Amino acid sequence: MQKALLKVENLSFKYDKEYVLKDINFELYDKDFFAITGPNGGGKSTLIKLILNILKPQFGTIELNNSIKSSLDIGYVPQNTNINLDFPISVLDVAMMGNGSKHNTLKRALNINYTKLEIECAKNSLAKVGMQGFLNTKISNLSGGQRQRVMIARAICSHPKLLILDEPTSSIDINGQKEIYSLLKELNRDITILVVTHDLTVISNYANRVLYVNQEGFLHNLKQDRFRVNKDEHFCEVELMQMLGKNGGQN
Ligand SMILES: Nc1ncnc2c1ncn2[C@@H]1O[C@H](COP(=O)(O)OP(=O)(O)OP(=O)(O)O)[C@@H](O)[C@H]1O
Ligand SMILES: [Mg+2]
């Protein structure tokens, strides 16, 4: 039996008095394309912050496999990456930020040059997301979809084993969304993907497992026939969301 990359057990969390997450259980395996969905305010971003150790649970455990113990082993694209568009920073600069830790930020502040290796790493990750032709372009001059590709490049710069994305296509048009998800599918050959999305088409086309989170969590294995969506079939999002919000898909 394959060892889980991440194991969440009996996890409960509250910011104040009310529990935002109650008794969440799931495991993430190597090369999973794992989706987290659920209504606004359901607790998805909170769960991601708990996994990233930004927040601490009141109850339960989050166990990381040894292969993802270092913060550089997890790439993260947060929800609503609000960039100050007046800040004169290039595409290459943004990707470079993914190279390392505080050390790296300090380098920028002190205006110390990056090493050749760091520059090569950033260029390689920009090439992986198809942005190699924009190295010196100001980040503010990119489209939303292109900017999001650069954020993904930044997140994969340190060669993470796990890439976590919180609603990566929320402000991107349909074609841009498709492009980002086929990029993620490609990256998924080497990297485990954990993505928060409201897009059920994405879930049915790309994910192998999905966790529906609305305070409680319901885990579903999408390889099961009942979730398979026929291309000619009318796709009813409401019905699928109702199916996901029920137990019974436990694998
Ligand atoms: N820093 C905070 N302090 C107090 N309450 C918070 C904080 N952040 C989130 N919450 C509350 O926790 C609940 C879950 O929020 P969370 O952001 O995790 O939801 P979400 O599922 O990511 O929603 P969305 O789909 O809108 O992104 C909400 O009721 C929210 O108001
Ligand atoms: Mg959120």
Tell me, what's the pLDDT at 196? 96
Torsion 243-245-247-251 (CA) sign: positive
Top-level class of domain 6-244: alpha beta
Residues facing residue 76 across a β-bridge: 164
How would residue 174 be classed by pLDDT, with cut points 50, 70 and 90? Answer: confident
| Among 215, 222, 228, residue whose Cα is nearest residue 251 | 222
Tell me, what's the pLDDT at 100? 67
pLDDT higher than 50, residue 214: yes
Domain boundaries, the chain: 6-244
Residue whose CA lies nearest to ligand 1 atom number 24 = 40
Tell me, what's the pLDDT at 199? 87
Residue type, 223: K
For residue 37, the CA-to-ligand 2 centroid distance in Å is 10
Residues facing residue 77 across a β-bridge: 165
Tell me, what's the pLDDT at 236? 62
Higher pLDDT, 186 or 235: 186
State the average pLDDT over residues 231-251: 64
CB of 44 closer than 6 angstroms to any ligand 1 atom? yes
Q: What mean pLDDT is reported for the chain?
A: 86
Is-contact 241 200, C-beta < 8 A? yes
Residue type, 89: I
Residue whose CA lies nearest to ligand 1 atom number 28 = 41
Structure tokens at 118: 């760091």
pLDDT higher than 70, residue 24: yes
For residue 42, the CA-to-ligand 1 centroid distance in Å is 7
Residues 6+ apart with CB under 8 A from 85: 139, 140
Tell me, what's the pLDDT at 251? 44
